Chains A and B, each alone.
Chain A
Amino acid sequence: MWSRDLDDQIREALSQEIEAARPELEGLEERVIGALATRLAKPSIWQRLRQLFLPGMTPRWAFAGGIALALALGFIIGRLITPSPTPLSAYAQAGTLFAVVDPGAQSVAVVGDFSAWQPVPLSDPDGDGVWTAVLNLPPGRYEYAFVVDGRWIGQDPLADEYVRSFGDYASVRYVGSGGGA
């Protein structure tokens, strides 16, 4: 008995709720369809940008263009962050340049009277086979040779002249007052 009264009360409360909400539900379907139509009619920001820059482009061409753009950006950024090889003339202005081109060499050094014939290593940081060292030498005449993987290389194409003593050639560089050669 108590249970049946309670059911009736709940049913009545629900019907009152529904009646109260009925005015708000009227025309709901039309309102939803209208809102959807408005949203579809307004293009997104990407669609607007695409329309602005790539009018009439098919997705395939847009994809290819995107790849090309990414490659170009990568190249530009790469050029900006990777140090480009310094021209040899720039080295020579900073001092006396010693250079050897030998892509297969493991170690290259210059020995000369400026170093008491002790080896001064040349470096090839970018691995292109051009080994260089820039020495700050006072004005004067200097004899030198390269030692490439233990071999004595006495004739440097950049030398001013050559001398021969102890059965081997050595190169000679005259350094001017600017310190370069």
Chain B
Amino acid sequence: MRTFLAGLALLIVAGLAFGQVPLAPAASPNDVLTLLQSLPISPELKSELLGEVPSALATGLLSPRVAVPFLQALSALPQAQIEQTLNLMYEALEEKFIVDPLLLETLKGLRLARPWPEVMGMLQLRFALLRATRTVLQAHGLVPMTPKGINPSPSAKLISELAWAIGDYLSPGGSPTDAATIESKVRERLVRLRGTALAPGVVDPLIAVLSPALVQEIAGLALNPERR
């Protein structure tokens, strides 16, 4: 009887603790590397990725929770599309960007069954915005020239959030010249993320100087990279 009651109590405690809907089971860095090994891509690209991915996993630029479903989804694509996507991922990793949002964007496009050129076009726009955002923020002294600190660095997170906010306006066809609207949307987003996803010490200097001119500079550089 005592055993039964103890078991019942344990069940009740477990039920209270795990009453929420669980997300996908946790993936490990090894799962990512195993999947990467199994992809039908050129040995050169595979070797480059296997050199970059472990450190990205260790520093939080890439998380197994996102990488595993991403690589699983890629494995169903033709080799050319897999390599095109992984090349972009490799470049982003090399430049120390947080790549989870890029992978998630790919998964979203695939979930919506969008044509491949549209998915790739979106990824290229997002990547261009990441680069442009970092360049402009560094030029204005808002992020250090070499991201450092905790991983992923608060600066990398700030670059990612700002680039995504601008991209969310541009990607459905918003005009890059409508700088006041973009600035207003970006400001609202940064304020909402302040203190949760973005550390106040990192985002406050940006909010203080954020202007339509600043976001237009980023959008312009992303859409016309030759100006860099």
Contact = CB atoms under 8 A, between A and B. Distances in A.
Interface of A: 94-95, 111, 113-118, 120-121, 123, 133-136, 139-141, 143, 152, 160, 163-168, 170, 174-177
Nearest to B119: A166
Given A152-B112, A166-B118, A177-B196, A116 B189 contact: no
A174 B193 contact: yes
Given A134-B19, A177-B196, 15 more contacts: A94-B19, A113-B101, A114-B23, A116-B68, A117-B69, A117-B110, A133-B21, A135-B21, A135-B23, A136-B20, A164-B171, A166-B114, A167-B114, A168-B112, A174-B192
Interface string B100-115: 0101110111111010
B189 A177 contact: no
B65 interface: yes
B197 A139 contact: yes
Given A139-B197, A165-B168, A116 B20 contact: no
A94 B20 contact: yes
A134 B20 contact: yes
21 contacts: A113-B108, A116-B103, A116-B104, A117-B107, A117-B108, A120-B21, A121-B21, A123-B21, A139-B196, A141-B189, A141-B193, A164-B172, A165-B105, A166-B109, A166-B114, A166-B119, A167-B112, A167-B114, A174-B192, A174-B196, A176-B196
B41 interface: no
Contacts of A133: 21
Q: Closest 5 interchain pairs by CB? A: A139-B196, A116-B69, A164-B172, A117-B107, A133-B21
A70 B142 CA distance: 75
Contacts of B172: 163-165
Interface of B: 19-21, 23-24, 65-66, 68-70, 101, 103-105, 107-112, 114, 118-119, 122, 161, 168, 171-172, 189, 192-193, 195-197
A118 B69 CA distance: 8
Contact of A175 (B66, B189, B196): B196
A174 B189 CA distance: 9
A164 B118 CA distance: 14
Nearest to B195: A177
Contacts of A140: 193, 196-197
Given A116-B107, A166-B118, A134 B21 contact: yes
The winner among B104, B119, B195 for most chain A CB atoms within 10 A is: B104
Given A140-B197, A141-B197, A174-B193, A166 B23 contact: no
Given A152-B112, A166-B112, A120 B23 contact: yes
A115 B192 CA distance: 22
The winner among A160, A165, A167 for most chain B CB atoms within 10 A is: A165
A116 B66 contact: yes
